Amino acid sequence: MAPDPISWRNANPGDLADLLPEIRASHAETVLAASHAAAQGWAGTPLSERIELLRSAQKTLHARQEELAQGICREIGKPIPEARGEAGALVAKIDYAIADAEKFLAEETPNDAPQPSRIRRRPRGPALIIGPFNFPLHLSHGPATAHLLAGNPVILKPSPLAASVCARYAELMTPLFPPGVFQLAQGGAQLARTLAFDRRNRSVVFTGSVPAGRTLLSELASQDPSKDVALELGGKNAVLVLRDADFVRAANAVAEASCLTAGQRCNATARVLVDQSILAPFLQNLAPAFAPYQPGWPADETTKLGPLTTASSVERYRTALQPVTGVKFLLPGKVHEKVGGRRGHYVEPCVRQWKDAPSYLSHSSSQQEFFAPVVEVIPVDGPEAMIAAHNAVPFGLSASVFTTSRKNFEHLANHLHASNIYANLPTTFSPSALPFGGWGESGNHHPGGRGFIRFASDEQVLQEARDTLN
């Protein structure tokens, strides 16, 4: 593993000449020692006081929404309307987290135990949040909020690609809590490993690639089996178009969910499994649905498709543009060196139609994420073949079924290997009001949305001999 840089500067992916301020790497031991020192005091802080501090954070984040949205847009290349949605979600997330805390952290007194008993949740200790670049604030803020409410100090180690906007977020959050309770740790993979494997950290929340997540989980399990590890990994999410589907609605959902955040979402639509009998009319609607998604300057209010975040993302996208036997390009895709006179990581949507499911499943692209606006259309012969083709891919995050029949939807939902299944909605729907987690190579069954606080605390049972304590 290459050593982390001591300092670095990110460039705006929509205008590579626009350099962000220099970021300097953090010192691991300084952060770890402060978190460890704060643990006992924060654990002993009543839940009511933790909630009060989170309410203060909510007010601060609400007041700074536009500033944070502009920071996301500039550093990640996320179109500004999307970036505002992410910044707004930080505020709403605190309401959901507080409701979860009041529900799941409440002490229980079972009536059917043989002796007087109580069941309670205890703080686990310092937690490390290793954040992603695509939702640099939202996907870190959610678990951080849960851990803070559970009584655990938090270390946020953001993606180096989102270092500046995360630094601003931390500047807003850190002063609101006692020293050491909320900290930012800037660095790369080496820092993340150092923090994750230190025994003082008792939880690790990781959002990122499948290989990195798999390695982290297996090595931590062997060295520190009591440490909780929550993984949110990749997706190869499918839209399933049945014979009775609304083709226009399905096509629009595919275009939207494959182009939001330039396809750099774990729940982006990557596959379309369409019944062979309605392939032609569905395809007549698909290409036109992509017309609004042309690469544009992310700070423009009308832009629906911003740039990819990195040059390596563009190179991965290029592999989808190569000819493949049995594949027809419905939209060929294209890399733009410049858009509007600005040099950036701009690409067009790419839509590939495969001959059939066996051809697709035998190709390596069925097992990997492009993490770009690339969609693969696979004709199948009926719902059962659709289920088989869907479940042959190892990811299990989101799936959307387009049908007018509740019976069809329920049947597919009962057989699809995915944790989030929608009827006639985009695969990116994923509201914060509900749990969100992945199966298979998409995660390890820790929902990152509602209810996550259950994984941020430890269950403890207290029992006493009857009539022996004053």
Provide the pLDDT for residue 16. Answer: 98
pLDDT of amino acid 446: 83
pLDDT tens digits, 78-130: 999 999 999 999 999 999 999 999 999 999 999 999 999 999 999 999 999 99
What pLDDT shows up at residue 133? 98
Q: Which two tokens mark 416?
A: 């699809």
Residue owning tokens 């079972």: 110
Partners of 230 in beta bridges:
205
Residues of the chain with pLDDT under 70: none
- Same topology between domain 7-233+444-462 and domain 237-432: no
CB 94 within 8 A of CB 57: yes
User: Which class is domain 237-432?
Assistant: alpha beta
Q: Which pLDDT belongs to residue 341?
A: 97
For helices 138-150 and 47-63, angle between their N-to-C axes, nearest 10 degrees = 160
User: Would you list the domain boundaries of the chain?
Assistant: 7-233+444-462, 237-432
pTM, to two decimals:
0.96
132 vs 187: CA distance, rounded Å: 13
CATH topology of domain 7-233+444-462: Aldehyde Dehydrogenase; Chain A, domain 1 (3.40.605)
Q: For the residues of 36-104, what is the DSSP string, one character each? A: HHHHHHHHTS-HHHHHHHHHHHHHHHHHTHHHHHHHHHHHH---HHHHHHHHHHHHHHHHHHHHHHHHH
User: Residue 395: what are its φ and ψ, rounded to 5°?
Assistant: -80, 155
